[in-house]
Chains A and B, each alone.
Chain A
Amino acid sequence: MAARENGFYPVMLLTLIVFISIVSLTLTNAVTKDKIELAKKDEIAEMLIALFPKMEGFTYDEKSDLYIPLAEQQPLGYAFMAEKSGYGGTISILVGLEPDTTLRGIRIISQQETPGLGARIAKSFFLQQFPGLAVDDVELTRKGGKVDAITGATISSSAVVEGVRKAILDKLNRLRRET
């Protein structure tokens, strides 16, 4: 490295490199931004279909933060995101409600729990416990609810349960206040 060591040269070079970096990141962002949003939207649509198999499309209400799956222009229920800190990071859960507000089911959108232990919250043997539950039953069995925790993953299981129950209560409270 025989470059000049003093004066303005190092500063200029660093500025130039940062500038090139900004330009290339701006370009990458411009190319991938729509793709990333589309991928996220696709993912939500896929999860919604898993909860509402008859769904033909969905609308998103920004004010109440609700996804409303539709079939023949009729709403099939409601869905919304719940978040809660688990063992390894934030767990994002899509919660589906029937029109009568019993639980339609839940799907894990993203999680960073331990693979083979906490990550099993995304497996069907755990998720299939949720459909049909009333809000008050969304609690671990040992605390009087109707959801069995996963062996070796109590923190992850309880995070899902807490997150889901709190999100449903929040939504119901808000709906009640508004109507």
Chain B
Amino acid sequence: MHSFTKNFLKGIIRSNPTFILLLGLCPSLAVSTSLDNAVGMAAAFTFVLLASNIIISLIRNYVPIRVRIPVFIVIIATLVTIVDLILQGFIPALSKSLGMYIPLIVVNCIILGRAEAFASKNNTPNSIADALGMGVGFAWAIVLISLIRQLLGTGALDLFGHHLFTVPGLADNPVTIFLLPMGAFFAIGVLLALFRWMGVSTGE
């Protein structure tokens, strides 16, 4: 298989950052309370990961091993701050609901993990493929978790102010525990078990 396609596809299921690598669980758990937040987080995350993978793969031959972590962190922190400022200025509603989780992308271990494990050792096209694949992998994972939590926790689905549908019976008596932090663990625990049961094994 062509290496670009291969590097793109691996993040989606075989090395899915959330379900298989179990990286970056903090945002997957904390921001997955509503579909809006999950979509916004996934977009911001993918942008930062893509930009950081590109920059780090471009400068990888100039960065001494001893200072690589500070270099990566400065680059990631700069990108995240840029995203944060742009969101505040142009999409204030999203910036408000994601709140402190945008600045926390800096310490999202998927981004540092991909910088360290992939972008610092591979060329730019492959790093782009890796970032996009991981972005898609993270996106569908967090959207799936938020779908379960919002559906069970509120009995209805809304996306960016549009009401999609209501589950009869559940909406009057929702399982609010799914909106609480422990509900996130229930959802992700069941999903992880499901993936193991289906035989999706670690890819790397």
Residues of A within 8 A of B (CB): 1-5, 9-10, 13-14, 17-18, 21, 24-25, 28-29, 31-33, 35-36, 39-40, 43, 89, 110, 112, 114-117, 152
Decide yes or no whether B33 CB sits under 8 A from chain A.
yes
Separation in Å of the A1 CB from the closest CB of chain B? 5
Q: What is the CA–CA distance of A163 and B154 in the complex, to the nearest angstrom?
A: 27
Inter-chain contact A17/B82, CB cutoff 8 Å: no
Inter-chain contact A18/B179, CB cutoff 8 Å: no
Inter-chain contact A4/B74, CB cutoff 8 Å: no
State whether A117 and B62 are in contact (beta carbons under 8 Å apart), knowing that A21-B78, A25-B81 are contacts in the complex: no
Q: Using CB atoms, name the residue of chain B closest to A4.
A: B64
Inter-chain contact B92/A43, CB cutoff 8 Å: yes
Inter-chain contact B99/A1, CB cutoff 8 Å: no
Residues of A within 8 A of B67 (CB): 10, 13-14
State whether A110 and B96 are in contact (beta carbons under 8 Å apart), knowing that A1-B63, A32-B89, A117-B176 are contacts in the complex: yes
State whether A39 and B179 are in contact (beta carbons under 8 Å apart), knowing that A9-B64, A114-B33 are contacts in the complex: no
Inter-chain contact B89/A13, CB cutoff 8 Å: no
Q: What is the CA–CA distance of A2 and B60 in the complex, to the nearest angstrom?
A: 9
Inter-chain contact B75/A17, CB cutoff 8 Å: yes
Q: What is the CA–CA distance of A152 and B64 in the complex, to the nearest angstrom?
A: 54
Residues of B within 8 A of A110 (CB): 96
Known: A14-B71, A114-B179. 7 other contacts (CB 8 A): A13-B67, A24-B78, A28-B81, A39-B92, A89-B99, A115-B179, A116-B179
Inter-chain contact B61/A5, CB cutoff 8 Å: no
Q: What is the CA–CA distance of A102 and B86 in the complex, to the nearest angstrom?
A: 39
Candidates B61, B75, B89; contact of A21 at CB < 8 Å? B75
A sample of 17 inter-chain contacts (CB < 8 A) reads A1-B68, A2-B61, A3-B62, A13-B64, A17-B75, A21-B77, A29-B85, A31-B89, A33-B89, A36-B85, A43-B92, A114-B179, A115-B34, A115-B154, A116-B153, A116-B154, A117-B179
Inter-chain contact A39/B89, CB cutoff 8 Å: yes
Residues of A within 8 A of B78 (CB): 21, 24-25
Q: Using CB atoms, name the residue of chain A closest to B85.
A: A32
Inter-chain contact A25/B82, CB cutoff 8 Å: yes
Q: What is the CA–CA distance of A116 and B181 in the complex, to the nearest angstrom?
A: 12
Candidates B70, B77, B85, B174; contact of A28 at CB < 8 Å? B85
In residues 125-146 of chain B, which contact A (Cβ within 8 Å)?
none
Inter-chain contact B66/A32, CB cutoff 8 Å: no
Decide yes or no whether B194 CB sits under 8 A from chain A.
no
Q: Using CB atoms, name the residue of chain A closest to B180.
A: A114
Q: What is the CA–CA distance of A110 and B93 in the complex, to the nearest angstrom?
A: 10
Residues of B within 8 A of A13 (CB): 62-64, 67, 71
Q: Using CB atoms, name the residue of chain A closest to B92.
A: A39
Separation in Å of the B18 CB from the closest CB of chain A? 20
Decide yes or no whether B16 CB sits under 8 A from chain A.
no
Q: List the 5 closest pairs (A to B, CB-CB), nearest first.
A: A35-B89, A32-B89, A21-B78, A116-B179, A39-B92
State whether A1 and B71 are in contact (beta carbons under 8 Å apart), knowing that A29-B85, A116-B176 are contacts in the complex: no
Inter-chain contact A17/B74, CB cutoff 8 Å: yes
Q: What is the CA–CA distance of A1 and B65 in the complex, to the nearest angstrom?
A: 7
Q: What is the CA–CA distance of A115 and B181 in the complex, to the nearest angstrom?
A: 11
Q: What is the CA–CA distance of A31 and B90 in the complex, to the nearest angstrom?
A: 11
State whether A32 and B33 are in contact (beta carbons under 8 Å apart), knowing that A9-B64, A110-B96, A116-B176 are contacts in the complex: no
